[in-house]
Structure 1
Amino acid sequence: MRSYIAFIKKEWIDYLRNYKILIIIIVFAILGIISPLSAKFMPEIIREFMPADISIQLTEPSNIDSWTQFFKNISQMGTIVAIIIFSGMMSHEYEKGTLVNLITKGLSRKTVVAAKYTVVVLIWTISYWICFFIASIYTRYYFPEGKTTGLFLAVFSFYFFGIMLFSIVMLGSISFKNIYGSLLFTAGFTVILFIINMFPKAIKWNPLQLANSNIKILQGILTFYDIKYSFVIMMLISLCALRLSIRIFNEKSL
């Protein structure tokens, strides 16, 4: 346990020194601000740039539009930035050989994997919920009369999807000794999820549902019982990815 905590501190300090934590938090904070702002002012922007001879009916924005922008920005920008930053969590160790001395002195390889993943999840948690709370404050300000049923289920669904995704990033980072291999591995995994989603009977089991059904949850179309199997598969994939990461790392030469 002491070595686990000590390695977590070491990882945390490294992320602080290279400003990666600051970068992720700033990116997510900005996304939290612009999500409700874009929902509020997008109709006005569209009207401003539309040709005078074209008429278009635009509905008044609502809090649902704000949260739609939130999930869109998080999935298309926030998560991608985090994946790019975390994809090098092991490649730098391989290149510099910084783990050789630690492991030869008795540090367990299992501890290395567990500590690195813990720090990644911690940074993801802080950044994600900062983004959510900022978006929530601005959404309540601009759309005070709006009500959202199932908001926390929708938000937690994507949060846990991110946790699973970073277990895949961990597996890719350990399996390949460069950032590009890790990124391609994660991208390949995501593509597989989209392919599975093409089969209607497989949708309820696909963890991708936790990331792309958020608006349906907000609208009351889906409930926890509709996505419960996705949660189960998400947890199984996360555990299997971490277990496989430890196994591969134990056999990997440093």
Structure 2
Amino acid sequence: MRKIVGAIAALILPVAALAAVTDLPSSVSQGGLVIGHAAPGSRVTVAGKPVHVGSDGIFVFGAGRDEQGPIDVVVGSATHRLNVTPRDWPIERVEGVPPQTVNPPPEIAARIQREQAEVVAARNRDDTREDFAHGFIWPVTGRISGRFGNQRIYNGDPKAPHSGMDIAVPQGTPVKAPADGIITFAKPDLYLTGGTVLLDHGFGLSSNFLHLSRIDVEVGEHVRQGEVIGLAGMTGRATGPHVHWGFNWFGVRLDPLLLPGIQ
């Protein structure tokens, strides 16, 4: 069994053997990543959808911010029901944001929609690499200035919940890959997110880094954990230098703070 399974037990959720061939947590927090282990060759579905199972039986899925559960995980013919632990979502008020980035005019709104569609397409990459399987490290070290899931109010205008974790660091701080992966998106000037990089870790798991002042990687490049992918900045909609680290299981946004190794 890979060491990541033990890391999950120690760092995220108490693991219980729910069947002789399956390791799964008994519950998962909203925004949490689940890394399970079944007998090699098992067929696994989560909420009715098949997921990749590695040669050693490893599989992954996530519970979104608003997931109520329970989540049914079927391994072979056995069904395991995971309860979802609710969380409180505080309100974050952000003032001093350029008004045109809060309520953009129609032509800018159309640009934002096109750019976000590109990001979504890159996030849907689906292959069997297990680059996630050795845990994660912090991309930068600094004060957490914005937490995943909190309701955002920009200049008094309520907007969508925060999709990742903000880490306040000086302009130009090197940003490191939190785990191995392949670069699937890298552009310096998206309207809302500025310098933006997506790093795919396999099995539908990906990290995204926003507001970068410089990008040092290219699409298709395979990077190793700890390699510098760019520099922190405040491009796009930002009021100060920081790194926004988002994490996804396909279209499901997850909390980076709950990843193995990030506590």
Q: TM-score range by the shorter chain?
A: under 0.3
Computing the radius of gyration over CA atoms, which structure comes out larger, 1 or 2?
1
Q: TM-score, normalised by structure 2?
A: 0.26
Structure with larger RCO (C-alpha < 8 A, sep 6+): 1
State the TM-score, normalizing by the size of structure 1.
Answer: 0.27
Greater percentage in strand = 2
